[in-house]
Structure 1
């Protein structure tokens, strides 16, 4: 049952990512929601000095506007989070094979997530109103790296507890 649940979680996360990539920018825009939730642009003065460069384009409140600026960060965080979840789920499925060494599982999880991230950007190329970017794959892999570090730590802690309990 544990194997089936882990596999189902992996498939669901992959499906969520695929669904988001199937939508045009307009379909998934958060700007109308942000305008309703944050009337009057709270914290705009605090956020105004922040500027990041993304693919050579400056991103700031001045260049994009308040709500588009917030949406940019939410979207980039979504890359980190969703692909982190994908990597962790893939790790937890692959580790069920009970390997003697954990690092091949980590490498396979990382590689599988990287492949899905690349395919996701290709999928966006085929979706109207979307712009595929290799920098997004980089963000995906940063999220995957963090999630895999946490997954390995939790796995090792759980294995240690099992070992001491059996001793």
Structure 2
């Protein structure tokens, strides 16, 4: 078989991590904004689900996306449950650094509930892509 892709394998693996690294940068940038600058990022959820007032949907969505980007970075290795757990753990660790970063931003404070929401978002992303029909679609997009 003739190989048509002349890029080194290491470069392809590194490029797979680009979405996760970019998204981590987006999270860092958002954490650099004051609460007033952010306003309410996802007010529709608070309107639809008023009993979840204390749930920060912004953190949930940010870490749901980060987990998917990390899953893409790991590629087919991420299909194993232990890798899914590793991805949730890595997202949680990044959440810890995010909360530490917020300690230095005016009008922002570290919050354990944000870490909870980060972990829930990452865990639900990993559970969602373990559902067989979603997994098949995901692997077509992210082989």
Q: Settle same-fold status: TM greater than 0.5.
A: yes
Equivalent position to 1:148, from 116, 126, 132 = 126
Does 1:82 find its partner at 2:62? yes
Please give the per-residue CA displacement for 1:24-82, whole angstroms capped at 9, x wherever unaligned: 11222249xx8xxxxxxxxxxxx6xx56674xxxxxxxxxxxxxxxxxx7xx2111111
Contact 2:34/2:106, CA 8 A, preserved across alignment: yes
Larger Rg: 1
Contact 2:129/2:138, CA 8 A, preserved across alignment: no
**Which runs of structure 2 are paired with 1:126-137 in the superposition (5 Å)?**
126-137=104-115
Aligned partners of 2:91 and 2:130: how far apart in 1? Answer: 16
Does 1:15 find its partner at 2:46? no
Going from structure 1 to structure 2, the CA distance change for 1:23 and 1:151 (only over 3 Å counts) comes to: same
Aligned partners of 2:108 and 2:114: how far apart in 1? Answer: 12
Across the aligned residues of Structure 1 and Structure 2, the Cα RMSD in angstroms comes to 3.0
How many residues align structurally?
122
Please give the per-residue CA displacement for 1:76-115, whole angstroms capped at 9, x wherever unaligned: 211111101111111221235x47x702211210110010
**Greater strand proportion:** 1
Going from structure 1 to structure 2, the CA distance change for 1:104 and 1:122 (only over 3 Å counts) comes to: same
Aligned partners of 1:125 and 1:160: how far apart in 2? Answer: 38
Does 1:28 find its partner at 2:38? yes
Aligned partners of 2:26 and 2:15: how far apart in 1? Answer: 16
Contact 1:79/1:140, CA 8 A, preserved across alignment: yes
**Which runs of structure 2 are paired with 1:108-123 in the superposition (5 Å)?**
108-123=86-101
Question: Could you say which residue in structure 1 is the equivalent of 2:81?
Answer: 103
Going from structure 1 to structure 2, the CA distance change for 1:91 and 1:159 (only over 3 Å counts) comes to: closer
